Structure 1
Amino acid sequence: MNATTLDDLRPRKPGGLPRAAVLALIAHGLLVLALSLSVNWRRSEPAGVEAELWAAVPQIAAPRAVPPEPTPTPTPPPKPEPQAKAEPPPPPPNRDADIAREKREQKEKLEKQRLEEQRKEDALRKKKEQREQEEKAQAEADKREAEKKKKAEAERQAKQEAIRRQQLDRVMAEAAGTGAPGSTGTAAQSAGPSASYAGRIKARIKPNVVFGDEVDGNPLASVEVKVAPDGTIVGRRLVKSSGVPAWDEAVLRAIDKTEVLPRDTDGRVPSAMLLDFRPRDF
């Protein structure tokens, strides 16, 4: 058996170190040559070249340098905003003034309502009064119309009655004479009025004569009067003037005012008669 020596126990030195160094130099030289050839001397953009480097002995890379954290820039404090001028606080509400205003407004509202109601009442009252006046005027017009018709009807009946009486008197006269007991005539009735008839007519007209003027003498005014069978005066005409117009007018007005003449003793009324009037006789 071979005896083990101390050198056998020691670690062996790597024997390829010079060779590796030579190879590395050759590789670096080739790399430099390649880079020189690849440079574009015409100032064109150089093409990218990739190269891998190998180390002869494995080496551990150093830790990546960590960039220092940026120092935070201190932020300046915000400028204080200018404070707005404080407004004075509103005055405390005046409750008494509010109550007075509310009462005043309520009073004005009530007064306005009262005036409106008064206006409506006045309008209704005026309308009612106008309607009543129209109804009253219509009633009066109807009344006048009724009275007019009634009067016309009464006049028509009076005329018919007068005609009937006249016819009846004529029949009775034909049956017996109407003369006085000592009359010697043979007619059914006397042709003229009785002796007292003229005085009765003047007595009827005299109260209606109104004449106060002084005249010379006693002038005569003759008037023709036409009368209906019932004695109603239907016409008058001045036949002879007295020469005093005032006296003539007084006589005509008196005849118009008399309207109806009395009947004669036999119940008849002459259809026409001539009447004479003198101032001193009245």
Structure 2
Amino acid sequence: MNPKSTLHLEFAPPAQPGAGRAWVLAGVAHALLFLALGLATAWKTQPQTVQAEAELWSAVPAAAAPRLQEPPPEPEPEPVPEPQATPPAKPVPPPPPAPDPALEARDAQIALEKKKQLEKKKEAEKAETLKAEKEKRDKEKKAQEDKERDKKKAAEKAKAEKAEKAEKADAARADAMRQENLKRMQGMAGASGGENATGTALKSSGPSASYAGRLVARIKPNITYPGDVVGNPRAEVEVKVGPDGSIQSRRIVQSSGNKAWDEAVLRAIDKTEVFPKDSDGRVPPVIVLGFRPSD
């Protein structure tokens, strides 16, 4: 068998049901059509016979016979529709080629590389965002710390100025008291009080002359000063004492000019806590004591 014929038959459309019967009907219809056409044209081609006529006269009129009518032509048969040609079958597309493992592996590798690059890009963007947020927080924290430091410095400065003003006021009061004492001493030439006496009597009924020295000698061992004092400045302290000798308060009335030395003297007085009684068995309620580093 011819391979081309086999291929043609393989892709030929399937036979339509009733095709043979349609062809037979079509042939019969055409034969009837040709027969009708032949009969319709045969009578026109027959030779006509000459007929003689004689007129008969009659007293009675006679009606003429009807004229010969030609038979109506037979209707033409309806045309039989030709069988529609079966459309050729659509060619079957060839099967898709088998996938190439090498191409698939390459495509998978490319997709993997793109995914890695995308992940790296996202991580880099995330790191940049975190870095920017950290820098912003650090900047805000530094600004807050600077603000608090400036606030603290301002508070310390205000406190120092207030303390300086208080010290100046205390020094001014102490100087005023000293000037007043000097005036009283000048007006009481015969008084037996010392240089720093503040009473108005000729003879002091207050502490004895050696009592202040005894107190300084008692307080001096409690002074702890870590550094060296330039010169030999004097710090005068006013101490208020209870009847039992307990120290109630103390304050600097004349600073030595060295704040650290002044504070060391005040700490030593606090550490002493109780003053001894004087030779008369009493403790003066207020006494001013002077302290020098080299005394």
TM bucket normalised to smaller: 0.3 to 0.5
TM-score, scaled to structure 1: 0.38
TM-score, scaled to structure 2: 0.36
Greater CA radius of gyration, 1 or 2? 1
